[in-house]
Amino acid sequence: MLKMIGKFLKIIITFVILAFLLAGGIFAVRTYKYTKTVNSYRSEVQTLADQAGVGDHTDVILAIMYTESKGKGTDLMQSSESVYGSRGKIISQKESLENGVKHFAESYRQAKAAGCDLNTAIQAYNFGTKYIQYVHDHGGQNNVELAEEYSRDILSPGYGNDQQRTYRYMQMQSVFYNGGYLYQNGGNMFYAEIVQMNKRYITLFQRFQNS
């Protein structure tokens, strides 16, 4: 009986290990594909970033692109709302890149002037630049707890969600933080963390793509 239980446990453990390896392989292949697509815009983004005075943060901008679109579609940087106030107005990838870089550059300049960190500028790309003053008034360092307060208490109610309604958002950061949810109309309070994670993927896989 004990031998049968031992064999059964070995089968289960082997199956779990194989499942993890398979999932990891699929994730690695998919991430490699996405980062390769995003990195194909590197030269153009670098030029625009240099012109905007944020050339040292080209990888951050590419990570924003990865987060927003994986390098697919017309509005690569999802910059339509920041320019026109609504989605679907961007008519070309060039327009999206120009406005996305401009939006980040402005967020970065305001964050730097306010004495806030880089993650504040990244989070402001999602929340809007008014978030920068909020961070300045609360210590100058972005973090998820502060971003949640802004999302829940200011941004979300400002767009009609005064009941603190939430919806499922099953990403690694959100699952570990709160079980996986965001506030309706409240942006993404995990945005800076996700962009920084994607930046690491872009940097890592670029080495393989250039070899």
Domains of the chain are 128-196 (1.10.530.10)
Query: Which residue is it, tokens 């980062």?
Result: 35
Percentage of the residues of the chain whose pLDDT score is greater than 90: 75
Lowest mean pLDDT among 42-46, 85-89, 150-154: 85-89
Query: Looking at the predicted structure, is the pLDDT value of residue 69 above 70?
Result: yes
How buried is 140 (Cβ within 10 angstroms: 0-12 exposed, 13-18 middle, 19+ buried)? Answer: middle
Location of structure tokens 């939430």 = 166
64/203 Cα distance (integer angstroms): 13
Amino acid at 63: A
Q: How far apart are CA 202 and CA 2, in angstroms?
A: 49
Query: Measured between alpha carbons, how far is 173 from 191 in angstroms, rounded to an integer?
Result: 9
Which element (helix H / strand E) includes 166? strand 166-168
pLDDT in tens, 83-124: 887 788 899 999 999 999 999 999 999 999 999 999 999 999
pTM, two decimals, is 0.88
- For residue 116, give the DSSP letter: -
Q: H or E element: which one contains 182?
A: strand 181-183
Q: What is the pLDDT of residue 22?
A: 61
The whole-number pLDDT of residue 38 equals 96
Confidence label for 211 from pLDDT (cuts 50, 70 and 90): low
**Rounded to an integer, what distance in angstroms lies between the CA atom of residue 156 and that of residue 62?**
27
Cα–chain center distance at 67: 4
State pLDDT tens for residues 153-203: 999 999 999 999 999 999 999 999 999 999 999 999 999 999 999 999 999
How would you classify residue 143: left for phi > 0, otherwise alpha for psi between -120 and 50, otherwise beta? beta
Round to whole Å and give the CA distance between 115 and 128: 17
Give me Rg for the CA atoms of the chain: 20
